[in-house]
Structure 1
Amino acid sequence: MLFRKTLMAVGLCLTMTTASADPNFWQHEWPDTNFEKTSVENWKEILSGGPPKDGIPALSDPSFVQVADESRIGAREPVITVEIDGEIPRAYPIRYLTWHEIVNDVVGDTPIAVTFCPLCNSGITFDRRVAQGTLTFGVSGKLRNSDMVMYDRETQSWWQQAIGRGIVGDLNGVKLTTLPTWMESWEEFSTRNPDGLVMDEPGYNRSYGSNPYRGYDTSRRPFLYNGEMPPHDISPLARVVRVGDRAWPLERLRKSSTVTEAGVTISWVAGQASALDGGNIAKSRDVGSIRVKDGQGNDVAHDVMFAFAYHAFWPDGDWMLGDG
């Protein structure tokens, strides 16, 4: 596929070669990880994505600029929006997260991790505080069901990004709190928040604004995934809106614009470009933006992910197909 050739060209080295699925093999790279504590039943589920530990460099304490001073981001480019009561709204552009996948930040008194897994289209923001302390996350270079495996620098435990749970190490089984953030276009964010902040361009030599996964979200099969495909003849790379253990196909929402059921109202509007389509994110096809609110109008934590990833991590989840 074209996106694989592009990945090789930019040096991400996402190849089909995988490290031996054996903690004894990984111990040299992860000497401080407690592999005796794990919820992974089959180590073969964990594959090397190509880059080593920190080969994709997570960011910490990023710089921000005023919305009015930002001119590099295209109007339809996606950003992850963080709006915490009493704090200035912040936008974390996917043009940067595509290359770094995790941003460790602090908004007011809340330490957060803004995460994006391109292979699952999963953009989730977590509170970095757990009972054991405040964590700082990095990219392990490992994948499970094609989803990013994060690690924390404090205990070297491994975490599954899609579910926000520790899967290997001393913090195995610990659950992160997911914050109600969402992905929208830069135009939507900047129009609503003219006095807001946007993360500044990191000081790395990367082709920010380009998509190294060109053509991925129209591929026939997900990359480095050997699990079961979604039911109901849903394409594995179709987007779904996950709220808890329920999933609404994005195509259904696109047709209806607004759906109210299961205690939430989900709305769709056009205007957000796919980060995983064309080589230039700003010029990629329109997939629209999603907001999820409860009965009181409060934002609800959710994720817009690929159908195969939802089925992999929620095999018994409810597919909200709207067919009666």
Structure 2
Amino acid sequence: MLRFAMILSVLACTASADPARWRSAWPETDFARTTIDNWSEIISGGPPKDGIPALNDPAFIAVGDEARLTDREPVISLEMEGHPPRAYPLRYLMWHEIVNDVMGGVPVAVTFCPLCNSGITFDRRTDHGTLTFGVSGKLRQSDMVMFDRETESWWQQAIGEAIVGELTGTRLRTLPSWMESWAAFRDRNPRGLVMDQPDARRNYGANPYVRYDSADRPFLFDGEMPPHGIAPLARVVRVGDAAWPLTRLAQAGELRERGVTLSWHSGQASALDSARIGEGRDVGNVRVRDPAGRDLPHDVLFAFAFHAFWPEGAWMLGD
């Protein structure tokens, strides 16, 4: 059973999908500009605007000084040439979902949507200037709707595109980052940095979505289930508009298809399984690289979310 599920469900059902009701909380959002055909696609996830507080300019500590993380705990790793690699632990992103940071002069947004298991890093620079993102409290297809504080436009996290407001249709550039275990990051980057624990009252290290990734159906989702008999909460590795079932990659260890190389090795805990994040079952570590060995943007998300946002996408099922 999911913690808080009943409370969130009640709150979600009380929120009418009507921009007229939203304007008091969103006075700067231009609801006349949108790519959404049906406002009922957007629902409340429970918390209000900024009820899940995004983080800005987080503090970092040296890898060797980190004593809270367990070996298998997942982190989002971000590496840029000429700069110490950085790890963003999911034990913090679980409660904040967005980290606005700057690395090597590049403004970035490190994002994680627990309901889709979607962890993506974006370049915050656009033709309209550098944006700072917050958590709207809204969901679409069970995926987090972000907002920028400069125009209060709403953004779909899974695709990095503005779907409501002044910046509707603008897309963010996705940066190569990946989920891996703390031990994998630490051992590869002994001189790297890891985000320090935020100064907030949260039960960091706990998973508020116990056994969610073993559920029969996604939470707050009434869309179409994925094809080919794939379980809706099965993990898939998405590269562009193609998805590889994680089970297939784990069995092969390495796949070379569609001009990319996907690799898997064991050792990363699911953040959405056990009550303590670091004790979740092993879902393994994934890397995606191009023929020159460079890391590529990708996401390891649930199958239902891939099908929802890439309904015509390619399912890489093998023979």
The answer to whether the 8 A contact 1:214-1:278 is kept is yes
Q: What do residues 22-78 of structure 1 show as CA deviations (whole Å, max 9, x unaligned)?
A: 111111110110000000111000000000000000000000000000000010000
What's the secondary structure of 1:17's corresponding residue? helix
Q: Which residue of the partner structure matches residue 214 of structure 1?
A: 210
Q: Which residue of the partner structure matches residue 52 of structure 2?
A: 56
Question: Over aligned residues, Cα RMSD in angstroms?
Answer: 1.0
> Equivalences for 1:260-275 in 2 at 5 Å?
260-275=256-271
Q: Tell me if 1:226 matches 2:194.
A: no
Q: What do residues 110-140 of structure 1 show as CA deviations (whole Å, max 9, x unaligned)?
A: 0000000000000000000000000000000
> Equivalences for 1:47-126 in 2 at 5 Å?
47-126=43-122
What's the secondary structure of 1:99's corresponding residue? helix
Q: Which residue of the partner structure matches residue 22 of structure 2?
A: 26
Amino acid at match of 2:207: N
Query: For 1:120 and 1:92, how far apart are their aligned partners in 2?
Result: 18
* Number of corresponding residues: 318
The structural deviation recorded for 1:301 is 0.2
> Equivalences for 1:163-312 in 2 at 5 Å?
163-312=159-308
Aligned with 2:138 (options 137, 142, 152): 142
Q: Which residue of the partner structure matches residue 32 of structure 2?
A: 36
Q: What do residues 201-249 of structure 1 show as CA deviations (whole Å, max 9, x unaligned)?
A: 0011111001000010000000000100000000000000000000000
TM-score (norm 2): 0.98
The structural deviation recorded for 1:86 is 1.0
Percent identity reads: 65
Query: For 1:81 and 1:291, how far apart are their aligned partners in 2?
Result: 11
Unpaired segments of 5 or more residues in structure 2? none
Q: What do residues 186-206 of structure 1 show as CA deviations (whole Å, max 9, x unaligned)?
A: 000000000100000001111
Shift of the 269–73 alpha-carbon distance from structure 1 to 2, 3 Å rule, reads same
Query: For 2:217 and 2:5, how far apart are their aligned partners in 1?
Result: 19
Unpaired segments of 5 or more residues in structure 1? none
